[in-house]
């Protein structure tokens, strides 16, 4: 089977008619980007061959253009065994089917039946796709990852090609009958998942229930035994806890712990008092020693101050003589420095006058620059205002233009739908007949004319013919077209445009006005400082101009009553301000130099005077300080001896030392009498013993309650007859176990018989599938050297054998996809070898193959293309360039209006 061409119209994204061109024998490749419509073309191919034209199933409705109710039309040109065919179908509205076979044309159901016989299909249920092997060979997007799912007719086709009788190879009808009987008997005892059912399940459940009851009763008996043992233990513990001697001993221990705590508290009080007395005696000894040491330090300090005071009196006389000499020398140099400073001040005033005139000129230049910037801001603001007015005058914007475009597309869609429902009038004029056919006043020429409304055809010399299109939707489509045109006209009128082109022009004018406004705003933004707005910037500029005017006025007023810069330069007319400033600056520098020399001459003598004055002040202060310190020491020593004489102080120190020795001995005696332990440990022992007594009382109450509960449970259990009930359940369990063993033996026998028959059937199936395996093996060996496959009776691959057997489901996505493609190639080769139509279509397949395997797959497809037609659809043009396939194109089909 060779596909020659495929035409689609009103199929999903293809509203206008298009044709898949360039098809031929061998490899064919359509490479296009995502959302181009490749999967739509494959869906159209499957629809024209496998869907009934009268079907209204979901598969048919999914072919309609998105959001529309148009009627899909699909046509395919193909050849089988050298005979050319064309099948054309129209779906949904006015469904039709036409098969052209040589010179013969078949319509409707007759065309459908002939097409199905040609390519080996059987009708599907309720308008679904026809069933057959071709459905497995046309692989849609994402289906290449799984093995082909063969319908019953497809399996029948493959079995017919294999030319074998599975029943005869496995022992004939008798083997089938026995196997069916075995399965029926197994079905009585086991369900489909191998779980027991019926009497087998009842026996198992009965045995389990009896065992459960035995376990429950046995657990109750063990509980009774445990309760008896617990009651004995409870009696023993109760006797232990209720011992009077033990309780009295515990109370005695508690009393002894409390007495020990009291003794520790008394010792702590005595020891603290002894330590306090020792600390007090030590403090008295230390205080007496400090007083004696302080009096000795005062005497030594007084002797030092007396000697220092004599030295300072002599130094004071020398310092007063040096200070008087320095003052006389300083007075003469001070007069020279004052004269130099007066000359420098006069030069400074002359220079300031000249610089004031220069500052006035600079202010005037700043005022001119600021006024120029203000003018530019005002001009830029005016430009922005004018551009804004031009933009506001535009009535068109992007939203309105988008609505107009949408309305125009709605009109075009309505016109296309109307044309799709049109009656086609084919005109073929003979020689000399030009001008004789007139349709509604228009002379017709050879060609096709679409009629969407009633029309009158006049034939010169014959008469008129009234043509009424048969479409029932004509009035609705005309109303939709009129409504769409009216909506478009209203939108154009609201925008003030005559047609969509004028609207596009108005939108372009708006964009130009928008660009002009943006340019004016850009100029204005460059004139603005930072993020300041226009009004603030202009107000700031005006404020600066006014401020500069005020400063200029003040500067001019200050200069109005002073001397002229030319006068400062000597009164020469025509001298410029810069020259005057240079002369004044040189005079100022000369006066500075003279003043600096006078200050330098004054500096050294002045430093000498300051140093002499500082030395004199320092000696005086030090001499006064020494006098005051000596007087203070004399007063302090006299006051201390008056309060306590030196011999009394020595006696107090000796008395304090004796008291300290006695206090130390008292502390040692207290430490020797310390009881064992601490107060904290005694408190802990008391708390522990109290808690022990309380816990014993609580345990005694709990044991009495437990004893009563155990006695009640034991009395209740002894009346239930547990041993007799356990024996009855044992007999019931043995009966169910015997029935279960019988059923298990029957199941084992049936399984053995079924497995034997299945093994024989599998061996026959392997011989039966050998031709299909031989068809796959060459391509498999090229892709996986020294590998083999295991096929099941449903013609699927169950495992791949390389170094080990690998289940198909555990293989990688890429390997599963490659094997699934090879299985389809094998099926196609099998069909072709038996003289049946075969053609392979792969939509976006081989997506998980690495570069090496992809090259080998290209070789396999190239080899298979010598025997059959292969169509590859892909969005990865750069990867499939190496396939070397015939490139295909999708072209628009010209239609004569």
pLDDT tens for each residue of 163-221: 443 444 444 445 556 767 777 777 877 777 778 888 878 888 888 888 887 788 777 77
| Sequence-distant (≥ 6) Cβ neighbours of residue 734 within 8 angstroms | none
Q: Is the pLDDT reported for residue 8 higher than 90?
A: yes
pLDDT band at 286 (very low <50, low <70, confident <90, very high): confident
Give the per-residue pLDDT at 296.
83
| Sequence-distant (≥ 6) Cβ neighbours of residue 281 within 8 angstroms | 656, 659, 660, 662, 663
Query: What mean pLDDT comes out for the span 293-322?
Result: 79
Contacts of residues 755-759 at CB distance under 8 Å and 24 or more positions apart, as own/partner, are: 757/170, 757/171, 757/175, 757/178, 757/179, 757/182, 758/179
Range with the largest mean pLDDT of 209-223, 255-269, 397-411, 592-606: 397-411
pLDDT tens for each residue of 591-641: 788 777 777 766 655 566 677 777 778 877 887 887 788 788 788 878 877
Percent of all residues in the chain with a pLDDT value above 70, rounded to a whole number: 85
Residues 839, 134 contacting (CB under 8 angstroms):
yes
- Which position has the higher pLDDT, 511 or 453? 511
Total residue length of the chain: 897
pLDDT band at 150 (very low <50, low <70, confident <90, very high): low
Give the per-residue pLDDT at 75.
94
Q: Is the pLDDT reported for residue 448 higher than 60?
A: yes
Residues 208, 739 contacting (CB under 8 angstroms):
no
Give the per-residue pLDDT at 171.
46
Which of 97-106, 371-380, 570-579 is predicted with the least confidence, judged by mean pLDDT? Answer: 570-579
Q: Is the pLDDT reported for residue 224 higher than 70?
A: yes
Query: What mean pLDDT comes out for the span 44-64?
Result: 86
- DSSP state, residue 894: P
Which of 84-93, 343-352, 764-773 is predicted with the least confidence, judged by mean pLDDT? Answer: 764-773
Find the DSSP H helices in 73-138.
Answer: 108-119, 134-137
Q: What is the DSSP string of 523-539?
A: HHHHHS-TT--HHHHHH
- DSSP state, residue 11: B
- Give the Cα separation of 28 and 38 in Å (integer): 13
| Sequence-distant (≥ 6) Cβ neighbours of residue 278 within 8 angstroms | 660, 663, 664, 666, 667
Give the per-residue pLDDT at 718.
60
Please state, in angstroms and as integers, the Cα–Cα distance from residue 736 to each residue in 210, 320, 388, 740, 741, following that order. 9, 140, 100, 6, 9
Give the per-residue pLDDT at 470.
61
Give the per-residue pLDDT at 313.
79
Residues 40, 8 contacting (CB under 8 angstroms):
yes
Which of 89-98, 147-156, 397-406, 521-530 is predicted with the least confidence, judged by mean pLDDT? Answer: 147-156
Indicate the SS3 state at residue 620: helix
Q: Is the pLDDT reported for residue 91 higher than 50?
A: yes
Q: Is the pLDDT reported for residue 739 higher than 90?
A: no
Give CA torsion, residues 591, 593, 598, 599, to 10 deg. Answer: 110
pLDDT band at 301 (very low <50, low <70, confident <90, very high): confident
Q: Is the pLDDT reported for residue 73 higher than 90?
A: yes
Task: From 712, 713, 694, 699, select the one nearest 236 (Cα to Cα).
Answer: 699
Task: From 788, 786, 794, 784, select the one nearest 818 (Cα to Cα).
Answer: 784
User: Over the Cα atoms of the chain, what is R_g?
Assistant: 62
Give the per-residue pLDDT at 270.
78
- Give the Cα separation of 768 and 778 in Å (integer): 19
Give the per-residue pLDDT at 169.
42
Which of 239-248, 810-819, 843-852 is predicted with the least confidence, judged by mean pLDDT? Answer: 239-248
Give the per-residue pLDDT at 90.
92
Q: Is the pLDDT reported for residue 567 higher than 70?
A: no
Which of 98-102, 471-475, 685-689, 852-856 is predicted with the least confidence, judged by mean pLDDT? Answer: 471-475
Which of 340-354, 363-377, 603-617 is predicted with the least confidence, judged by mean pLDDT? Answer: 603-617
User: What is the residue-averaged pLDDT of the chain?
Assistant: 78
Q: What is the DSSP string of 783-799?
A: HSTT-EEEE-TTS-EEE
Residues 837, 2 contacting (CB under 8 angstroms):
no
Q: At how many degrees (to 10) do helices 722-768 and 770-783 cross? A: 80
What kind and span of H or E run contains 744?
helix 722-768
Cβ atoms < 10 Å from Cβ of 725: 16
What kind and span of H or E run contains 230?
helix 198-241
Q: Which two structure tokens, joined as six digits, stand for 416?
A: 């296309």
- Which position has the higher pLDDT, 48 or 646? 48
pLDDT band at 5 (very low <50, low <70, confident <90, very high): very high
Task: From 381, 320, 367, 223, select the one nearest 717 (Cα to Cα).
Answer: 223
Residues 425-438, buried b or exposed e (16+ Cβ, 10 A)?
Answer: beeeeeeeeeeebe
Residues 51, 11 contacting (CB under 8 angstroms):
no
pLDDT tens for each residue of 820-840: 788 888 778 777 776 778 888
| Sequence-distant (≥ 6) Cβ neighbours of residue 844 within 8 angstroms | 38, 39, 141, 142, 144, 873, 874, 875
Percent of all residues in the chain with a pLDDT value above 90, rounded to a whole number: 5
Residues 2, 79 contacting (CB under 8 angstroms):
yes
Q: Is the pLDDT reported for residue 716 higher than 60?
A: yes
Give the per-residue pLDDT at 161.
58
pLDDT band at 86 (very low <50, low <70, confident <90, very high): very high
Which of 163-177, 328-342, 702-716, 872-886 is predicted with the least confidence, judged by mean pLDDT? Answer: 163-177
pLDDT band at 761 (very low <50, low <70, confident <90, very high): low
Identify the sign of the CA torsion 866, 870, 871, 877: negative
Please state, in angstroms and as integers, the Cα–Cα distance from residue 710 to each residue in 59, 705, 717, following that order. 77, 9, 11
pLDDT band at 390 (very low <50, low <70, confident <90, very high): confident
Query: What mean pLDDT comes out for the span 480-490?
Result: 87
């Amino acid at each position: 089977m060779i596909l020659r061409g495929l035409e689609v119209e009103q199929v999903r994204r293809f509203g206008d008619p298009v044709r898949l061109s360039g098809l031929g024998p061998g490899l064919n490749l359509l490479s296009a980007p995502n959302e181009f419509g490749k999967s739509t073309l494959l869906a159209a191919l499957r629809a024209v061959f496998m869907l009934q034209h009268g079907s209204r199933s979901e598969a048919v409705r999914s072919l309609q253009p998105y959001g529309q109710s148009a009627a899909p039309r699909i046509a395919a040109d193909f050849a089988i065994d050298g005979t050319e065919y064309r099948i054309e179908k129209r779906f949904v509205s006015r469904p039709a089917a036409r098969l052209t076979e040589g010179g013969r044309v078949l319509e409707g159901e007759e065309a459908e039946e002939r097409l199905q016989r040609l390519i080996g299909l059987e009708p599907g249920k309720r308008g679904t796709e026809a069933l057959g092997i071709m459905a497995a060979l046309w692989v849609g997007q994402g289906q290449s990852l799984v093995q082909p799912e063969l319908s019953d007719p497809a399996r029948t086709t493959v079995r017919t090609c294999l030319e074998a009788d599975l029943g005869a190879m496995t022992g004939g009808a008798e083997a089938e009958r026995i196997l069916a009987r075995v399965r029926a008997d197994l079905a009585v005892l086991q369900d489909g998942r191998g779980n027991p059912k019926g009497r087998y399940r009842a026996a198992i459940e009965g045995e389990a229930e009896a065992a459960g009851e035995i376990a429950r009763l046995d657990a109750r008996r063990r509980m009774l035994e445990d309760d008896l043992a617990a009651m004995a233990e409870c009696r023993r513990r109760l006797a232990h806890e209720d011992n009077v001697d033990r309780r009295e001993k515990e109370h005695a221990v508690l009393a002894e712990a409390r007495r020990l705590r009291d003794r520790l508290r008394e010792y702590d009080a005595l020891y603290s008092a002894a330590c306090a007395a020792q600390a007090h005696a030590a403090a008295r000894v230390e205080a007496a020693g400090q007083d004696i040491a302080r009096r000795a330090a005062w005497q030594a300090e007084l002797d030092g101050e007396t000697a220092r005071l004599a030295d300072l009196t002599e130094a004071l006389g020398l310092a007063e003589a040096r200070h008087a000499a320095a003052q006389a020398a300083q007075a003469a140099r001070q007069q020279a420095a004052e004269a130099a400073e007066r000359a420098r001040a006069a030069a400074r005033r002359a220079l300031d006058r000249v610089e004031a005139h220069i500052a006035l000129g600079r202010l005037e230049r700043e005022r001119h620059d600021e006024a120029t910037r203000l003018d530019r801001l005002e001009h830029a603001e005016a430009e922005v205002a004018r551009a804004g007015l031009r933009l506001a005058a535009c009535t068109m914007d992007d939203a309105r233009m988008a609505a107009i475009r949408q309305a125009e597309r709605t009109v075009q869609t309505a016109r296309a739908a109307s044309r799709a429902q049109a009656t086609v009038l084919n005109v073929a004029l003979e020689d000399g007949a030009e001008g004789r056919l007139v349709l509604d006043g228009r002379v017709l020429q050879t060609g096709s004319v679409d009629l969407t409304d009633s029309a009158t055809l006049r034939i010169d010399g014959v008469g008129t013919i009234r043509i009424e299109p048969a479409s029932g939707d004509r009035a609705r489509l005309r109303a939709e077209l009129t409504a769409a045109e009216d909506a478009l006209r209203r939108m154009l009128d609201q925008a003030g445009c005559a047609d969509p082109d004028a609207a596009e022009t108005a939108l372009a004018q708006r964009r130009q006005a928008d660009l002009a406004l943006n340019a004016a705003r850009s100029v204005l933004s460059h004139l603005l400082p930072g993020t300041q707005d226009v009004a603030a910037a202009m107000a700031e500029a005006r404020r600066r101009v006014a401020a500069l005017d005020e400063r200029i006025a003040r500067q001019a007023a200050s200069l109005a009553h002073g001397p002229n810069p030319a006068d400062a330069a000597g009164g020469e007319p025509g001298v410029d301000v810069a020259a005057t400033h240079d002369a004044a600056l040189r005079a100022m520098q000369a006066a500075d130099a003279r003043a600096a020399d006078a200050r330098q001459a004054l500096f050294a003598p002045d430093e000498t005077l300051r140093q002499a004055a500082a030395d004199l002040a320092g000696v005086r202060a030090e001499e006064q300080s020494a006098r005051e310190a000596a007087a203070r020491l004399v007063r302090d020593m006299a006051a201390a001896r008056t309060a306590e004489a030196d011999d009394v102080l020595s006696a107090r120190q000796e008395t304090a030392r004796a008291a300290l020795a006695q206090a130390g001995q008292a502390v040692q005696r207290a430490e020797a009498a310390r009881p064992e332990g601490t107060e904290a440990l005694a408190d802990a022992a008391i708390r522990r013993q109290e808690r022990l007594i309380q816990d014993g009382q609580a345990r005694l109450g709990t044991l009495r309650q437990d004893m009563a509960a155990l006695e009640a449970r034991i009395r209740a259990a002894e009346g239930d007859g547990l041993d007799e009930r356990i024996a009855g359940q044992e007999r019931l369990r043995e009966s169910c176990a015997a029935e279960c063993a019988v059923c298990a033996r029957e199941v084992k026998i049936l399984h053995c018989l079924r497995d034997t028959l299945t093994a024989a059937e599998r061996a026959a199936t392997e011989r039966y599938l050998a031709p299909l395996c031989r068809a796959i093996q060459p391509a498999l060996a090229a892709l996986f050297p020294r590998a083999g496959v295991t096929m099941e009776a449903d013609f699927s691959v169950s495992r791949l054998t390389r170094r080990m057997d690998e289940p198909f489901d555990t293989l990688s996505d890429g390997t599963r996809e490659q094997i699934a493609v090879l299985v389809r190639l094998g099926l196609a080769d099998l069909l072709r070898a038996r003289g049946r139509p075969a053609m392979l279509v792969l939509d976006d397949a081989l997506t998980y193959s690495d570069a090496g395997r992809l090259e080998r797959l290209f070789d396999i497809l190239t080899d298979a293309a010598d025997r059959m037609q292969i169509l590859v659809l892909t969005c990865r043009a750069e990867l499939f360039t190496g396939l070397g396939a015939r490139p295909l194109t999708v072209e628009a089909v010209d239609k004569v209006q």
